[in-house]
Structure 1
Amino acid sequence: MNRFKLNITPKMPGLVPPLVMVGVLVVLLPVFILMTLDRVKKQDEFIRERFLITGTSLIRTFEAGTRIGLGSMQWGIERLQSMLEETAGQPDVAYIMITDAMGKIVAHSDAAMVGKIYDGWPDLASLPMDPHRISSRSLNTQDGPVLELAKRFVPFNPRLRGRGWAAGHGPDPSYGYGYGNMPPGPPGPLGPESSARPAFGAFGQTDHYIFAGMSMAGVQAAQAQGFKNIVIRGLLFFVFCCSGIIALFALQAYWAAQSSLEQVMAFSDNVVQNMPSGLITLDTNFNVTSANRAAEKILGEIPEKAYPQMAAMAAKITGSGGVASGEVALNPKEQGELRLDMTVSAIPADEDQIQGFVLLFRDLTQIRDLKKQVETNRRLAAIGKLAAGVAHEIRNPLSSIKGFATYFSRQYENEPEDVEIAKIMVQEVERMNRSITQLLEFAKPMAVEIKQTRIEPLIRHSLKLVSHDLEKKKIRVETDIRTRRETIHTDPERICQVLLNLYMNALNAMDSGGILEIGVADVQDDIEIRVADNGCGIPAKDLEKVFDPYFTTRAKGTGLGLSIVHRIVENLKGDIRVESRPSKGTVFYIILPVNGAVMAASDNKSIK
């Protein structure tokens, strides 16, 4: 049969408290927002940087192409205008134009704009003088947002400016070309006096600027989609983090609940196993499913099927549930009749369903035995009181008989036979008087007087009182006092009385030449006094009865000596036990508290 074990289905608490979820949101939401904004900012910066690179490459490429074209003197303003229109046809290019220092448009990707004033950049002088530096800004136009790039327009190598023919290697500088080694080309379609030369000459005489507008309209949809993707990824990251943290809290809560449940189950199982009442559980078919230690102790071997009496009591509550109780008589194997006080309750499953029964019971047999013992003790106490009263009444006539026997022994001292009879009468009266004295001593309340007593002198004094009897039977005495204490708080008169009774029992159990051993030793915080003999011993069947009143194995014994010893030791809050083997001897062990057994030890009050 398995030991009793609770069968509990753990009921999990809520995953995470609401406050924890709110805390997670409060912590992660700012992180999510900051990360999203940072990604959006980086995306905008990347797009702007890409358009800056594209616009810069476009301007520098245009400058390089212009430099090559002007160097060969193959084309003029018309060719420059055509080149701007072709360049503006590239993807993401909104416009490209060249202006002079006053903002007048010299060339434009839109031919209609040539000759007009460009006021989009009111202070052209603020642009860097360094032709390698490019400025940029964002604009909102009718066609959408534009990233505009601007720089000084230098379609020649600045290091060659002022050299060439101006130094005697080319045409007269009055042409105003100012391009160094750039020779005049052949006449164009408009002839040598076409407008190309004044225009190109103007590039050399005044500052010009090139502007490239990169259309951002095409990337707005890409930006929106990128922003959407960033937000979606951020949301997924946010949800993932929240889920992870919540799962961590839920797992922690589960572990805590599981640990608490295991502790509760272990505690409950320990309580059930060590409870003094028997407990067994049954299923709906009245099969025993578990039992605690008390149930095994009361019933012995636990059956697989419940006893019919148990099943009958459980069947009473099968339909309606509730609790049933009553007294049950059982007849387990190898035991007599057992009477149990039993309570049966149902183990509910679902609504109106029962999954088993719990039987809680206690053994009434032991209680009845205790009641019988209490009743016997009550009767013995009544008999003892009666015996004490009768003994008191008998002592008076015994005194008279002893007096008359003494008188007759003196009156007929010349008659030896009569004198002998008179002496026998006196001896018997004294023996009866001793028995009555012991009876009165056992029946009346016992008073003890606690005081500080020296151990070794107490032992020596008790042996001195029986020295005559010891010498008469040639009994050798061996003492072994090994205690580290010199004194003990106890009643010396009562201890002496106890030792005398034990000495006399030992003398009666030993033949001539026996050995009486008395030992004193420390046992933790107590003192142990040992009285041993090598006499005839006590049969095993009588060991449990030696302290019972009126029990004796001697023909002339009263059976009260050891009972009085036991009572004295109990009143001193000590303990006495006996060990004996037939033909080997007997040992009595007396355990006494060192610091006094009663509260009166400090002020020498008597306790009754």
Structure 2
Amino acid sequence: MSEALESPKSGLETLKQIVAGFHSSSLELTREYRRLEERVATLRDELERKNQQLENSLREREDARGFLSSILNSLKAGVLVLDQDLRPTFANQRLRKLMGEVDRERVSELVGEKLLSCFMQRESNFLPLDCEREVRDANGKVTPIHLAISKIMTGGQSSGYVLVFQDISRLKRLEAEAARSTRLAALGSMAAEVAHQIKSPLGGIELYASLLKERQQGDTKRLAEEILGAVRRLYTTLSRLLSFVAEPSICAESLPVSVLMREVKEICQPLLKDEKTKLTFHVQPRLPSLWGDCALLTQAIFNLIVNATEAMPHGGRIRIAARLSPFYSVNGRVYRTIEIIVRDQGMGIPIENREKIFDPFFTTKPNGTGLGLALAHKIIGVHMGSIEVSSQPGQGSSFTIFLPVDERPRLSSEEESYGEANTCRG
């Protein structure tokens, strides 16, 4: 009887223990859950921080990459990066402008497989390979370049190659100009000596021909007159030759470009009698003055304009423009320059003649002397300037004169008001 009464009590105690254990477990589970939540929150914060750091790092890398790309794109040299398999991975704007889009095939064409193979097999990992080459763009234009190839080293291992293409067209022109000046100096000395040697016997020929003309009749007199005409033409040629080889006498002064252009317009009026020929002048406003001889510079520009009119036998437009040009160096000295451009719509200059057009006595015209462009070139040279020509057969020619500005900055009131386009008509 007593055992039967104790059984419910024992069951109640057991139930209480179970409830207490469940409560304790629930509390422990709650504490674990909270700890887990805290851990998850900590991990989430750390993950967010890592993500933020990664984003910042990626942004910094992108900024650095963009900055480096901007630097490379601002260079005047073309830059090409290749991977280990010689596939292009980067080409700056200058390179794309110089050579167009570059793929693996184009790299082989530009550099040459043999040259790349030689470089890849070299023992030195850092010594660049330098050479000069000529590249042809999509339009067929050939450009001389200086090419430097170097390995890209990462962790002591080669990870690719960087190629730097430098356009050396201007350097080649300067080298050709220096060689031409040396050649012309020797030619000038020889020509002056020959001219003086010819003048004495020429005087004797003229004297005897004059006597024959006075004393003879018929065919003999006619032949004497032809001899005298030939002598006079030869004297004219000798005078032009001596004038060319002599150093021009310069009366330099501060010369506003507008004044120079006005003188050029004035001297060109006889050329405009043919209404089919039209001259258009445009001078950039507020140009600094030149330092030079107005008469000589006018003559040089006039010679270029005469050449342009002769290149347009059926008429056309000749544009003369003046503007401020970038800096350039002459004999190690840097100048600001004025560009004076004479552009015609003529037949153009064949490629094989472009290197000769400034040589004395070179002409393609039946009655030309070959001294007009040579004299213009010489006048610009004594003003520490230069002339460049660009031409395409059938598309006209453009002669660009570069002249240093007056180092003493001054601007005439006349030049301030001169800047609009002016047109001369016959």
- Asked if these proteins are the same fold (TM beyond 0.5), I'd say yes
How is 1:64-463 mapped onto 2 (pairs within 5 angstroms)?
Answer: 239-268=39-68, 276=78, 278-282=80-84, 287-293=85-91, 301-302=106-107, 307=113, 310=116, 314=120, 342-344=149-151, 347-348=154-155, 357-361=159-163, 377-401=177-201, 403-404=203-204, 407-408=207-208, 411=211, 414-415=214-215, 416=221, 417-440=223-246, 449-452=253-256, 453-454=258-259, 457-463=262-268
Counterpart among 298, 305, 315 of residue 496 in structure 1: 298
Return the offset for 1:540: 4.1
8 Å Cα contact 1:280/1:359 also seen in 2: yes
C-alpha spacing 1:370/1:437, structure 2 compared with 1 (3 Å): same
Return the offset for 1:451: 1.4
- The CA deviation string for residues 329-373 of structure 1, in whole angstroms up to 9 with x for no partner, is 99x9xx9xx997654466559xxxx6x642345679x98x99987
* Number of equivalences: 351
C-alpha spacing 1:235/1:505, structure 2 compared with 1 (3 Å): closer
Q: Secondary structure at the match of 1:554?
A: coil
Return the offset for 1:263: 2.9
How is 1:507-586 mapped onto 2 (pairs within 5 angstroms)?
Answer: 508=310, 515=315, 532=344, 537-538=347-348, 540-541=350-351, 544-545=354-355, 547-550=357-360, 551-554=362-365, 557-566=368-377, 568=379, 571=383, 577=389
Return the offset for 1:493: 1.6
Return the offset for 1:326: 5.8
8 Å Cα contact 1:566/1:576 also seen in 2: no
Code of the aligned partner of 1:301: R
Return the alpha-carbon distance in structure 1 between the equivalents of residues 259 and 126 of structure 2.
64
8 Å Cα contact 2:287/2:411 also seen in 1: no
The question of 1:597 aligning with 2:405 is answered: yes
Code of the aligned partner of 1:422: L
Q: Secondary structure at the match of 2:230?
A: helix
Return the alpha-carbon distance in structure 1 between the equivalents of residues 29 and 354 of structure 2.
94
Q: Secondary structure at the match of 2:363?
A: coil
Return the offset for 1:449: 3.9
Q: Which residue number corresponds to residue 106 of structure 1?
A: none
Return the offset for 1:502: 3.1
- The CA deviation string for residues 16-54 of structure 1, in whole angstroms up to 9 with x for no partner, is xxxxxxxxxxxxxxxxxxxxxxxxxxxxxxxxxxxxxxx
Code of the aligned partner of 2:240: R
Return the alpha-carbon distance in structure 2 between the equivalents of residues 445 and 297 of structure 1.
52
Code of the aligned partner of 1:494: L
Q: Secondary structure at the match of 1:454?
A: helix
C-alpha spacing 1:343/1:393, structure 2 compared with 1 (3 Å): same
Q: Secondary structure at the match of 1:301?
A: helix
Return the alpha-carbon distance in structure 1 between the equivalents of residues 289 and 150 of structure 2.
51
8 Å Cα contact 1:327/1:341 also seen in 2: yes
Return the offset for 1:531: 6.5
Return the offset for 1:591: 7.1
Return the offset for 1:419: 5.0
Q: Secondary structure at the match of 1:553?
A: coil
Q: Which residue number corresponds to residue 4 of structure 1?
A: none
Return the offset for 1:437: 1.9
- The CA deviation string for residues 127-155 of structure 1, in whole angstroms up to 9 with x for no partner, is xxxxxxxxxxxxxxxxxxxxxxxxxxxxx
8 Å Cα contact 2:284/2:324 also seen in 1: no
Return the offset for 1:565: 3.0
8 Å Cα contact 1:408/1:422 also seen in 2: no
Bigger shift: residues 270-279 or 557-566: 270-279
8 Å Cα contact 1:406/1:423 also seen in 2: no
C-alpha spacing 1:449/1:288, structure 2 compared with 1 (3 Å): same
- Alignment RMSD: 5.8
8 Å Cα contact 1:314/1:324 also seen in 2: no
Q: Secondary structure at the match of 1:359?
A: strand
Code of the aligned partner of 1:498: A
Return the offset for 1:261: 2.4
Return the offset for 1:431: 1.0
Return the offset for 1:277: 5.2
| TM-score normalised according to structure 1 size | 0.43
Return the alpha-carbon distance in structure 1 between the equivalents of residues 128 and 345 of structure 2.
56
The percentage of aligned residue pairs carrying the same residue is: 12
Q: Which has the higher contact order (CA 8 A, sep 6+)?
A: 2
Return the offset for 1:462: 0.9
- The CA deviation string for residues 306-332 of structure 1, in whole angstroms up to 9 with x for no partner, is 947755764666xxx9657667999x9
8 Å Cα contact 1:391/1:439 also seen in 2: yes
C-alpha spacing 1:376/1:391, structure 2 compared with 1 (3 Å): same
Return the offset for 1:390: 2.1
C-alpha spacing 1:300/1:557, structure 2 compared with 1 (3 Å): farther
Return the offset for 1:291: 4.7
Return the offset for 1:420: 4.3
The higher radius of gyration belongs to: 1
Structure 2: 5+ residue runs without aligned partners? 1-20, 136-141, 216-220, 326-337, 413-426
8 Å Cα contact 2:308/2:318 also seen in 1: no
Structure 1: 5+ residue runs without aligned partners? 1-220
- The CA deviation string for residues 233-290 of structure 1, in whole angstroms up to 9 with x for no partner, is 77556545544433332222121112112333445566678764554222xxxx4454
C-alpha spacing 1:310/1:346, structure 2 compared with 1 (3 Å): farther
Return the offset for 1:497: 0.7
Code of the aligned partner of 1:597: V
Code of the aligned partner of 1:553: T
Code of the aligned partner of 1:255: E
8 Å Cα contact 1:409/1:419 also seen in 2: yes
8 Å Cα contact 1:475/1:516 also seen in 2: no
C-alpha spacing 1:476/1:328, structure 2 compared with 1 (3 Å): closer
